[in-house]
Amino acid sequence: MADSGIFATTAEVSRKAGAGASATSNTEAYINDFMTQVESFINVVTRKNWSDAYSGLNVDVKGILKEVASNLAAIYVIQYNMAGYTSRVEAEDMINILRDAALRGLALLRDKKTEEFMVDA
């Protein structure tokens, strides 16, 4: 099986999920499923189909999409089963950090003032 996500790879998501990630959810099949959901979510929330426009985007814009998508997918990997982390607090802290970074990136992607830069970059 190969990565089917557009914005981020399985390896990028796995790194963010950390060493305590479940052996079940931290697999290519699960992460591909999570990435499909995350990419659709990003497109809907930002009201732009970044998936279709991806090949023509600047590397900086692709980097923001990669960060947001891998952060959100890693949250799904972590929340699937938190038993592998040293404590539930550790897993929740990781989720909070990933969520905050994803929200920052989503705000950038939604911001109409930066839209011209992202489209024309």
pLDDT digits (tens, 9 = 90+) for 1-51: 688 899 999 999 999 999 999 999 999 999 999 999 999 999 999 999 999
Residue 118: pLDDT over 90: no
Parse the chain into domains and list their residue ranges.
10-120
- Give the DSSP letter string of 71-119: HHHHHHHHHH-GGGSS-HHHHHHHHHHHHHHHHHHHHHHH-HHHHHHHH
DSSP, collapsed to helix, strand or coil, labels residue 6 as coil
